[in-house]
Chain A
Amino acid sequence: MLAGQAAPGAAGCRRLLAAALAAGLRRLLCSLPPCSASARRVVGQWPSPGLRVPEAAEAERLVQQLQRARPPLRRFIACPQLARTVQRCLQGGASPGPQPVLLECAPGPGVLTRTLLNAGVRVVALESNSAFLPNLQSLENSLDGQLKVIYGDFFRLDPLVTGTVKPPALSSDKLFESMGVAAVPWRADVPVKVFGILPQVRERNKLWRLLFALYECSSIYRCGRVELNIFISEKEYKVLTSKPGEAKAYQALTVLWQVGCEIQLLHKEPWSSFVTNMKSRGLAVQKTKWLPNDHLCLVRLTPHQNLFTGSLKPTNSATFIFMVKQCLAKPRSKLTDRLSSWSLDNGGKLLRELEIPQNAETRDLYPEDYRRLFEALQNSSEFAETWFNDEVMESIRNINL
């Protein structure tokens, strides 16, 4: 796991500096027609359109004014400095050559959007609040295809209810179609980058839903290994990156995300740097008992290329998820007990083969161990799949609804 790399690389810095300089110059020179910029265009990289990035106070005012219907709670990046930091993080570590398109979820006042555009990034802005749309659309119109604005909510993609999908909910197929992104094989490069701030309400559920999509290769992951760059609360970050044996933090969510993705910490930012749409302008940070929660953490979740190389497949991954959840529902239980309760009473032999100690508690196992365990079970004829399978389906239904 590569968590903890917060600072952007040196190359990123240089590029940024250039972009910032360019932006400054542009402002001085005032009006070069956008079309002339296209001449200097690198593949996948746009020249800076030299947009003015609104100041923090201005953006905050915008948020407060435009969001009439208050709840649900949303957070925005309003401070240009933070926006620059985020932009640096997003571009950091990128390989030279064509960059995939960046899907920015819920840009709101567009502070980050402009910063990104100035840095030459091709952006698709997915905004769920129609109040912010006009501003974004006029920005879109002033540019030559570097920005595309879509009405929709990233965290309500592919709703499970039957019937017509009502905006801002939308289907991922439609989204990618209008973005012009085609599906690539799983082992290919990242086709799309996503940036967003995970909504605080039901944050964990959203993480679970993303996880299910990842393991099933459905929704956004249908078109390949989509790279998520999302701000999540520090406590969830701690959960995602905790190590075996860490009390309270090491959970089923941990194991499954770590098996599925490479998790990188790009940046940590105090809650206070973000603007909320609350009337009181409070921060509305959830209290936690066990884990620290002082920051929002920008993490990059890149699906592993080799996720589906073994006997783990999108078709049987639900069983894997179910198995991990059952094991970690009671983290202090013995793994052998769990196995024998699944009518695998020569579980001892299995564990020996996997070099897992006989008295291991379920919370002691590394994520990779769980994967190996699952693969071993898949290959063994013992696995009483018939009854296990019913449970799996039931559990999926319960989580997805």
Chain B
Amino acid sequence: MSLLRLRAALSGPARLGGGGVPWSVLRNYSSASTKEKARRNAVCERAELLEVLKARVKQLQASSIPEVTVNKSELTLLGNDKLQDPLQEEGAPSPLEEPAAPWGRGQSLSRPSSWAEKLKKEMHVRQLKVERKLSLAASQTALEEEVKAKPKSKEKVKAKKSLKSPKAKVITAWSQAQGGSHSTCTHGKLRVTVGKEGVKAQRPPRAQKDSSHQKVLQQSIQSTLECFLFLQQPEEAERFLLSYHSSPAKRRLLSVSAYNTVMHSWARKGCLQRISRLLCMMESVGLQRSLDSYAAVLECLGRSQSSTQAVWRCLQQLKNDGFHVDDLFQKCLFEEDEKEMVLRAIRIVQPNYQLPPPPSPQTCKSSLLQDFYSKERMVSYPKLDFSVQELQECFQQQLEMELDNTVTIESVESTKPLTPQAMRARSVLSTLRSRWHGALLQALHKSKRSMAKLRNTSGYSTLYPYLCLLPDEEYVGIMMQIVNSLSPQGESLAVLARELGSKVYNRYITQRKLRSRQLEKVRAVYEGYIHLLAKDSQPEEYLPREYWEKLVAEAGFGPALNLKDCSWPYMLLMRLGMHMLELLVEALRVPRNILNPRLEPRLIPVLYHIYSFHSSWQVGLIKPHPIFSQLVSDAGETLLTFNSSAIPMLCPPVPWTSPHFGAYILSDTKLMRFVEGVVQHQQLLEQCPQVQLHPVLDALNQLGNCAWKINRPVLDIIISIFNDKGNEKLDIPPPVSEVPRPSAPPGSSSSWSKAHKQELLLYKKKAAEVHSMRMDALYKLSIANHVRDKVFWFPHNMDFRGRTYPCPPYFNHLGNDVTRAILLFAEGRPLGPKGLDWLKIHLVNLTGLKKKNSLQERLEYANEIMEEILDSADRPLTGRRWWMKTDEPWQALACCMEIAKASRSPDPAAYISHFPVHQDGSCNGLQHYAALGRDLIGAMSVNLMPCSVPQDVYSAVAQQVEEFRKKDAEQGVKIAQVLQGFVSRKVVKQTVMTVVYGVTRYGGRLQMEKRLKEIDEFPEEYLWEASHYLVKQVFNGIKEMFSATRDIQHWLTESAKLIAQSGQTVEWVTPLGLPIVQPYYRSRSTVLNCNMQHLSVKSFNSNQKPDTVKQKNAFPPNFIHSLDSTHMMLTALYCLRQGLTFVSVHDCYWTHALTVDIMNQICRQQFVALHSEKILQDLSQFMLEKYCSPGRETRAQWQKKLMEQLSNVPKTGDFNLKEVMDSTYFFS
């Protein structure tokens, strides 16, 4: 109830302003203002007294927490009301104890309203508790306090009378009745009333913990209010809030932040009365103000240049609530000029107030990174080959692209000549599109109007504000984009709805960033930031993240770079998307006779909603009418539209400084990728101390800061083949027209024979596959072609295990052979003495020919076939085409060209090469397992031990399987005989590779089947049996060779099983400090009722039960992945310190030919360092603490079992880890 005081504070300026006296002011009965002077005098005493009270509260807190938090607010209130009389103040603690005594009496005396009665009942139990706990303390003072309290309580009753809120009326009526009959108890009761409300407000989160629906609703309310804030419609926001506030059932959905958001929107207009009214509302439901509430009040005070007194009182109140003024600037996220306004308000009272200094940067203390972060060895950050001026231009280009949200580029097919038919189709399409644009605009207007009408008469349309965020044209643009990119096979409703919804969301976020002036600040900071990277500026000894943070801290003013969390709930996104989809289906029409003029002209829908049935469930699809698909394919349009985030960045990415900020300038990017609706990762990242994330952020920044360019000659060759029917052998998908079409028999399609239908079906399936592959290649090549003359960057983020990925989805270095072949480092380095040799070895690696030979032998082989290499480089398509026969033909071709250029240069060692040379881990998962278990045989077979020739684990397993097979064949096992001559490295490779990652027999069999199918000679009828047999033997073979590995895998699986069975999710922390949680829950689906179709949407929330099977099966592979990502990040960071260019494709590390040797050394060092940590012991300890901490009261059976399991870390073998340092083929 300290709110009363704050309101009193606010009422001053409101009256000065001369506007109508708001009703809330009435509550501050005249005595409040007349006694102002006395109050101020009493400040000192009051402060002291509050200290006493606080101490008392703490005392009580020790015994019972909920009761005290309820009463806490009363304490401050009482302190306030009794200002004039210090004597009374001394007694303040006692009223707190008072309710115990008079309650019983009051109950029987009068029952003024049902509300009060209900309240009483609810309170009774609680009351008894309070009674017991407080009776001791109360007994001493209760008597005299009762007497003292009398006059005050009367005053209060009077005050309440003037309230107009219905709730207050009840209180008044009640207290009057009570006061009349038994004045001594009134006082106590009144407070109990309020206290009870506090309880009520606190209860929902406890009682309805499991209600995920409620959470979604709360999130929706918040995002709707934020929409109004964005739209600058405080009236609407308040109306919306009131619609919840006025219903007791809905009211519990409102949190403090909901009220705060509305206050913020009023603060922006400087309406103090409205804010005080909201505070009053908050108080009436017993919500505690948060720091943000004060920020809103102060912003408003600052904006309206209020009186000293008002500000002073507000600040006083802030302190009373246990906050500090500095907290405002350290914890609140400000937008626009909010920070300045708050500061202005504060300076009215404290003219010399200075912003608190930014927190001093912390340094990560991980033992693995001591060297990396040590200040003594600090070196300057490597410079790019760009001047400040050039980088600024790059930034401007990137910014313009992101401001447009979409980028339209020429496809690589544009070089084809135009046929008259295509011309015609294009013109038809363009007229249709402009017509559709108009129709959509009209439909949107219409639906918005009807929503607005609905809003005025009854209830509230939830979608309306979301359809007002952007100009109508933009919504139409988004919808048209969907129509243009719809494939002829159609797309599922849910996918389209999500795409539409998230497109709107992304634009809204962009707009918000613009509105909050966040962009301006980013631009300013970025301008400073490029000085770290540009070649013509002073070297700075900072990491990108550190430098950025330093610049932000120096900037001081302005909006926060993080937006307040404003993500829309998934349900809402879908609902919005569905609404837009309905508009599309309704509005778009095409004349039926557009292709066949003989038909009568009639408009028919362009998009169809039909169902597709998959066994027992049905899926809604949206399909374009064949007429439209035909037009699109005839037109052969050559413009492609992408989201701006699908294009590589044209300037160095914004460094990651927190889980919310980094990568693109405007586009919203998550540090950690996750399944829609799973929030646990984000929560975990926010909760962990930020300094713990620094290594991960720095590693991502390092990967993202690698500049790239296009290998133009290779790109040109690829495009020429792409435009000339493609080539399946070279992995360039042919156009759909190349798929052989079955001849159609005469007659209508319904009379065809079954065989014919089957044939046609197969054709359609194949055509659909080819189409999607072709489109994928088209996107990749077109984007590559778009940036062919530029330098570009791939910002990175990671999955929940810490594996890193480039953000642009289509074209990136993680892609297939084709995309990798057209990428070059933008930075060039001389080859150095060994560079050319490395290029040659790299080439032989790419051919896949000499896997069992030593490096020296590979190099010799390369020299032997130099003629072929040069021929391939010089006449790639007309020569002997040696490169086409290799494993990775396009990369091999690119490498041939590089070798040719280098070897023909006068001094190969000085030749500047941009070519990335790869070093691959050999079965990296098994390497980590073998190192974890110090498994001697295992370590040998995956090259952890120095050896003259590389060991090949796949061949070893294949050999083992072959031995098993021979034995079985001799014993007359039919399938073993059939398999004679088919067991090879290639057949077993995928299964062996994935065994580490938890492939099951089922999955393994499918892999085998696939491999066997690829062998043409293999008899088809034995496929099932043979694959079944093989997978069994592969598992046996692995068990034989890797004993410790299996133990560890088993230990991990069992631990995860027990953890999941106890109802918890498996969590751990990587050696680099990244917290990880496995996001597998039993999902619950909620049905979304839309006009067109009911959609079943899977929903996740934090208190859902884990999916035991997934938690268990996925833990070993996820854990190993978290280790390989750690190894990669460590290597990346130490490579940075050595000034190397470094990027990775998971367990394949890339650098310049010059620096391969250094990278190899660092890679081995870091592997040894990583595994020298007690990884399994640390894991066991972490999990014991997390899942079996002694603090827990239950000692259930499962817990004992879990404890036993977790403490029983598998024993390790006696492999000497240091040997890795000398192993040539560890990564090669």
Contact = CB atoms under 8 A, between A and B. Distances in A.
Interface stretch (B55-63, B451-459, B602-610, B791-799): B602-610
A256 to B, nearest CB: 13
Given A343-B592, A343-B604, A389 B613 contact: no
Interface string B7-47: 00000000000000000000000000000000000000000
Contacts of B623: 387, 391
Interface stretch (B202-210, B636-644, B746-754, B1035-1043): B746-754
B750 A315 contact: yes
Given A319-B750, A325-B613, A399-B613, A387 B625 contact: yes
A395 B1021 contact: no
Interface stretch (B239-247, B474-482, B509-517, B756-764): B756-764
Most buried by A among B612, B748, B750, B764: B750
A285 interface: no
A386 B626 CA distance: 8
A27 interface: no
A138 interface: no
Contacts of A397: 761
B1020 interface: yes
Contacts of B612: 391, 394-395, 398
Interface string A152-164: 0000000000011
B107 interface: no
Interface string A379-401: 00000111101110111011100
Task: Classify the secondary structure of B's interface with A.
Answer: mixed
B904 interface: no
A326 B626 CA distance: 19
A204 B618 CA distance: 14
B613 A393 contact: no
A358 interface: no
A187 interface: no
A205 interface: yes
- Of the four ranges (under 10, 10 to 19, 20 to 34, 35 or more), the interface on chain A belongs to 20 to 34
A316 interface: yes
B431 interface: no
Given A163-B1020, A341-B609, A343-B604, A329 B618 contact: yes
Contacts of A391: 610, 612, 623
Given A343-B604, A343-B625, A395 B613 contact: yes
A144 to B, nearest CB: 40
Nearest to A216: B754
A205 B617 CA distance: 11
Contacts of A385: 748-750
A25 to B, nearest CB: 52
Interface residues of B, number: 31
B749 A386 contact: yes
B765 to A, nearest CB: 9
Contact of B750 (A340, A341, A389, A394): A389
Interface string B567-607: 00000000000000000000000001000000000111100
B63 to A, nearest CB: 49
A248 interface: no
Contact of A393 (B748, B761, B1093): B761
Contacts of B760: 393
B616 interface: yes
Interface in A236-269: none
B611 interface: yes
Contacts of B748: 385
Contacts of A340: 605
Contact of A390 (B615, B751, B764): B764
Contacts of A163: 1020-1021
A345 B611 contact: no
B614 interface: yes
Contacts of A384: 604
Interface string B656-676: 000000000000000000000
Given A164-B1021, A391-B610, A343 B605 contact: yes
B611 A329 contact: yes
Nearest to B607: A341
Nearest to A378: B750
A61 interface: no
Contacts of B625: 343, 387
Contact of A330 (B603, B605, B1093): B1093
A383 to B, nearest CB: 10
A326 B611 contact: yes
A204 B1093 CA distance: 23
A178 B1148 CA distance: 62
Given A387-B626, A390-B764, A316 B750 contact: yes
6 contacts: A342-B608, A385-B749, A386-B749, A387-B623, A393-B760, A393-B764
Interface of A: 163-164, 204-205, 315-316, 319, 325-326, 329-330, 340-343, 345, 384-387, 389-391, 393-395, 397-399
**A-B residue pairs, 3 tightest by C-beta:** A343-B604, A329-B611, A316-B750
Given A205-B616, A387-B608, A398-B613, 13 more contacts: A163-B1020, A163-B1021, A315-B750, A325-B611, A326-B611, A343-B605, A345-B603, A386-B626, A387-B626, A390-B764, A391-B612, A391-B623, A397-B761
